[in-house]
Structure 1
Amino acid sequence: MNTLLTTAAFLILIAAAAFVIHRLTIEHAERIAVHRYSRALPGGPCRFPPRRRRDRATHHG
Protein backbone atom coordinates (compact mmCIF):
# COMPACT_ATOMS: atom_id res chain seq x y z
CA MET A 1 0.00 0.00 0.00
CA ASN A 2 2.86 2.34 0.84
CA THR A 3 4.50 1.71 -2.54
CA LEU A 4 1.25 2.46 -4.34
CA LEU A 5 0.86 5.82 -2.58
CA THR A 6 4.48 6.76 -3.24
CA THR A 7 4.14 5.88 -6.93
CA ALA A 8 0.90 7.85 -7.20
CA ALA A 9 2.52 10.86 -5.51
CA PHE A 10 5.47 10.76 -7.92
CA LEU A 11 3.17 10.52 -10.93
CA ILE A 12 1.15 13.50 -9.70
CA LEU A 13 4.32 15.53 -9.16
CA ILE A 14 5.62 14.65 -12.62
CA ALA A 15 2.30 15.62 -14.22
CA ALA A 16 2.24 18.92 -12.31
CA ALA A 17 5.82 19.72 -13.35
CA ALA A 18 5.03 18.93 -17.00
CA PHE A 19 2.00 21.22 -16.85
CA VAL A 20 4.03 24.09 -15.35
CA ILE A 21 6.77 23.71 -17.97
CA HIS A 22 4.13 23.67 -20.72
CA ARG A 23 2.53 26.88 -19.40
CA LEU A 24 5.91 28.63 -19.13
CA THR A 25 6.76 27.65 -22.70
CA ILE A 26 3.46 29.11 -23.95
CA GLU A 27 4.04 32.38 -22.06
CA HIS A 28 7.58 32.62 -23.40
CA ALA A 29 6.38 32.07 -26.98
CA GLU A 30 3.74 34.79 -26.54
CA ARG A 31 6.38 37.24 -25.27
CA ILE A 32 8.60 36.51 -28.27
CA ALA A 33 5.69 37.01 -30.68
CA VAL A 34 4.99 40.46 -29.20
CA HIS A 35 8.61 41.58 -29.52
CA ARG A 36 8.91 44.07 -32.38
CA TYR A 37 12.06 42.53 -33.88
CA SER A 38 10.75 38.97 -33.81
CA ARG A 39 9.75 38.88 -37.46
CA ALA A 40 11.24 40.32 -40.61
CA LEU A 41 9.39 43.10 -42.35
CA PRO A 42 8.70 42.28 -45.99
CA GLY A 43 10.82 44.58 -48.15
CA GLY A 44 11.94 46.56 -45.13
CA PRO A 45 15.43 47.91 -44.71
CA CYS A 46 17.96 45.92 -42.74
CA ARG A 47 19.03 47.21 -39.35
CA PHE A 48 22.68 46.63 -40.16
CA PRO A 49 24.30 46.93 -43.57
CA PRO A 50 25.88 43.77 -44.94
CA ARG A 51 29.54 43.29 -44.01
CA ARG A 52 32.10 44.01 -46.67
CA ARG A 53 34.33 41.07 -47.45
CA ARG A 54 38.01 41.73 -47.88
CA ASP A 55 39.88 39.99 -50.63
CA ARG A 56 42.55 37.78 -49.08
CA ALA A 57 45.07 38.73 -51.75
CA THR A 58 45.01 42.43 -50.77
CA HIS A 59 45.04 41.85 -47.00
CA HIS A 60 48.30 43.11 -45.44
CA GLY A 61 48.36 41.85 -41.97
Structure 2
Amino acid sequence: MAAMNAFLTAIAFLVLVAAAAYVIHRLGLQHADRIAAYRYSTPRPGRRGRGTPQPHPAPWVGIRASDRPPGRPAPP
Protein backbone atom coordinates (compact mmCIF):
# COMPACT_ATOMS: atom_id res chain seq x y z
CA MET A 1 0.00 0.00 0.00
CA ALA A 2 2.85 2.41 0.80
CA ALA A 3 4.42 1.72 -2.59
CA MET A 4 1.15 2.61 -4.29
CA ASN A 5 0.91 5.91 -2.40
CA ALA A 6 4.52 6.80 -3.31
CA PHE A 7 3.86 5.94 -6.95
CA LEU A 8 0.70 8.06 -7.12
CA THR A 9 2.46 10.95 -5.38
CA ALA A 10 5.31 10.80 -7.91
CA ILE A 11 2.86 10.68 -10.82
CA ALA A 12 0.91 13.65 -9.43
CA PHE A 13 4.14 15.59 -8.98
CA LEU A 14 5.22 14.87 -12.57
CA VAL A 15 1.82 15.95 -13.90
CA LEU A 16 2.06 19.23 -11.97
CA VAL A 17 5.58 19.86 -13.27
CA ALA A 18 4.47 19.17 -16.85
CA ALA A 19 1.48 21.51 -16.48
CA ALA A 20 3.69 24.27 -15.05
CA ALA A 21 6.20 23.83 -17.89
CA TYR A 22 3.39 24.09 -20.45
CA VAL A 23 2.01 27.27 -18.85
CA ILE A 24 5.48 28.85 -18.75
CA HIS A 25 6.02 27.89 -22.40
CA ARG A 26 2.70 29.46 -23.45
CA LEU A 27 3.45 32.65 -21.52
CA GLY A 28 6.83 32.88 -23.24
CA LEU A 29 5.19 32.56 -26.65
CA GLN A 30 2.64 35.25 -25.82
CA HIS A 31 5.39 37.55 -24.60
CA ALA A 32 7.42 36.98 -27.79
CA ASP A 33 4.36 37.75 -29.92
CA ARG A 34 3.72 40.92 -27.94
CA ILE A 35 7.32 42.06 -28.38
CA ALA A 36 7.22 41.32 -32.12
CA ALA A 37 4.00 43.31 -32.58
CA TYR A 38 5.17 46.41 -30.70
CA ARG A 39 6.97 49.06 -32.72
CA TYR A 40 9.65 50.49 -30.45
CA SER A 41 11.08 52.90 -33.02
CA THR A 42 7.94 54.75 -34.10
CA PRO A 43 7.21 58.05 -32.37
CA ARG A 44 3.94 58.51 -30.57
CA PRO A 45 1.37 60.78 -32.21
CA GLY A 46 1.34 64.30 -30.87
CA ARG A 47 4.91 64.23 -29.59
CA ARG A 48 7.52 66.36 -31.24
CA GLY A 49 10.72 64.49 -31.78
CA ARG A 50 14.05 65.29 -33.31
CA GLY A 51 12.81 64.31 -36.74
CA THR A 52 14.14 61.50 -38.85
CA PRO A 53 17.64 60.37 -37.97
CA GLN A 54 20.30 61.45 -40.42
CA PRO A 55 22.91 58.95 -41.56
CA HIS A 56 26.40 59.55 -40.25
CA PRO A 57 29.18 60.13 -42.79
CA ALA A 58 31.62 57.32 -43.36
CA PRO A 59 34.53 57.42 -40.90
CA TRP A 60 37.13 57.80 -43.66
CA VAL A 61 35.49 60.88 -45.22
CA GLY A 62 37.92 63.76 -45.07
CA ILE A 63 41.00 61.65 -44.30
CA ARG A 64 43.80 62.34 -46.73
CA ALA A 65 46.29 59.72 -47.80
CA SER A 66 49.02 61.56 -45.88
CA ASP A 67 46.94 61.31 -42.65
CA ARG A 68 46.42 57.57 -42.98
CA PRO A 69 48.74 55.28 -40.97
CA PRO A 70 51.49 53.68 -43.05
CA GLY A 71 50.65 50.31 -44.49
CA ARG A 72 46.92 50.93 -44.37
CA PRO A 73 45.20 50.73 -47.77
CA ALA A 74 42.82 53.36 -49.03
CA PRO A 75 39.14 52.77 -48.22
CA PRO A 76 36.99 51.29 -50.98
Deviation (angstroms), 1:58: 1.1
TM-score by length of 2: 0.53
Higher Rg of the two aligned structures: 2
Deviation (angstroms), 1:55: 5.0
Identical amino acids, percent of aligned pairs: 4
Aligned residues: CA RMSD: 2.8
Going from structure 1 to structure 2, the CA distance change for 1:10 and 1:51 (only over 3 Å counts) comes to same
TM-score by length of 1: 0.64
Highest relative contact order (Cα 8 Å, sep 6+), 1 or 2?
2
Gaps of 5+ in 1: 37-45
Q: Deviations over 1:16-59 (max 9, x none)?
A: 00000000000000003x743xxxxxxxxx72133230357415
Gaps of 5+ in 2: 1-7, 43-52, 70-76
Q: Give the number of equivalent residue pairs.
A: 52
